[in-house]
Amino acid sequence: MVTGHGRLQHVVRVWLPVGFFLLVALFPFYWMAITSIKPNAELYNRNVMPLIVHAPTLKHYVDLLTKSSFLLWTWNTMLVAVVATAISLILGTMLAYPLARMRFAGASLIAMTIAAIYLVPQPLLFIPLADIINRLNLGNTLTSVILTYPTMLVPFCAWLLLGYFKSVPRELEEAARIDGASRVQTMRMIFLPLCTPGFISAGIFAFTLSQNEFLYALIFLTKSTVRTVPVGVIAELIRGDVFYWGQLMAGALLGSIPVALIYSFFVEHYVAGLTAGSVKA
């Protein structure tokens, strides 16, 4: 039987730390939400308590959707994120499968190089990638970011899938090969079903990074019609020293909804994929 003292210890040891970290994690979203529904009179009034909304309004959301190209930016962001994620998963699978299931000279070195490439800072790759994009005349097109995002997504996807592919028993693959299945058929019928959590976690990571990427999108996409949400919100809702805080926070909140929904539906697979990828790689 749990005594009152035991319950108190449980609350202090478990729920108090959990509540503290939950408060720290959710506080920025709360601030963002209340800022997006505050009228300008409250936003710029120092005498008003910043954590409380006295007269909530949806004007900032209406202005964001009607007076800016936010819906177009959202479409561009989703298109870029989905295509870049698909390319990264395909190339990551093609890179991870031979490293995990085939024996050849230099396989270990290539695997370590993949992890090292992922750690290379984006600014170091910007100059050569910008030169390639200019030579191909792809500036101010969504193709420019769709082609550059995999340079940072493929190494991580390959590293994560490598750990998952290694966890599949070789006996299953050998049995399929004995029955006449090719390498591609083995991957499609055995590896893809068994490694679904790994693909989900890699896909969520790639999608999130593609949607939130700022540096390449800022440089390669200078026209409003081809901008993504992170760049469009910053570039067009900050004019000189004037910050449209209500619309900025509304855009940030709406832009975070797709990723939040994806994580809420696939969080278990995402955690399982990251755990397996980091332990078994």
Q: Cβ(246)–Cβ(36) under 8 Å? A: yes
- Beta-bridge partner residues of 239: 242
Question: Looking at the structure, do residues 33 and 124 belong to the same domain, yes or no?
Answer: no
Question: Looking at the structure, do residues 141 and 246 belong to the same domain, yes or no?
Answer: yes
Question: Looking at the structure, do residues 75 and 11 belong to the same domain, yes or no?
Answer: no
Indicate the pLDDT class of residue 229, thresholds 50, 70 and 90: very high
Q: Is residue 50 part of a domain?
A: no
How many distinct structural domains can be found in the chain? Answer: 2
The answer for 244, left when phi > 0, alpha when psi is -120 to 50, beta otherwise, is beta
Q: Measure the CA dihedral 217/221/222/228, to 10°.
A: -70
Q: Which residues contact 102 (CB under 8 A, 6 or more apart)?
A: none
* Least-confidence region, from 42-51, 88-97, 269-278: 269-278
Question: Looking at the structure, do residues 181 and 86 belong to the same domain, yes or no?
Answer: yes
Rounded to an integer, what distance in angstroms lies between the CA atom of residue 218 and that of residue 228?
Answer: 9
pLDDT digits (tens, 9 = 90+) for 147-194: 999 988 998 888 888 878 877 777 887 788 787 877 778 877 877 777
Q: Is residue 96 part of a domain?
A: yes
pLDDT at 16: 82
Across all residues in the chain, what is the average pLDDT? Answer: 83
pLDDT at 277: 47
Rounded to an integer, what distance in angstroms lies between the CA atom of residue 243 and that of residue 227?
Answer: 19
| Structural domain boundaries enclosing 271 | 61-280
Question: Looking at the structure, do residues 139 and 270 belong to the same domain, yes or no?
Answer: yes
Question: Looking at the structure, do residues 125 and 222 belong to the same domain, yes or no?
Answer: yes
Residue scoring higher pLDDT (93 or 177):
93
pLDDT greater than 50 at residue 1: no
Question: Looking at the structure, do residues 117 and 28 belong to the same domain, yes or no?
Answer: no
Q: Is residue 258 part of a domain?
A: yes
Q: Is residue 51 part of a domain?
A: no
Q: Is residue 94 part of a domain?
A: yes
Question: Looking at the structure, do residues 159 and 250 belong to the same domain, yes or no?
Answer: yes
Q: Is residue 48 part of a domain?
A: no
pTM: predicted TM-score of the whole model, two decimal places: 0.82
pLDDT digits (tens, 9 = 90+) for 2-37: 455 667 776 677 788 888 898 898 898 898 999 999
Place of tokens 């930016």: 73
Q: Cβ(126)–Cβ(92) under 8 Å? A: no
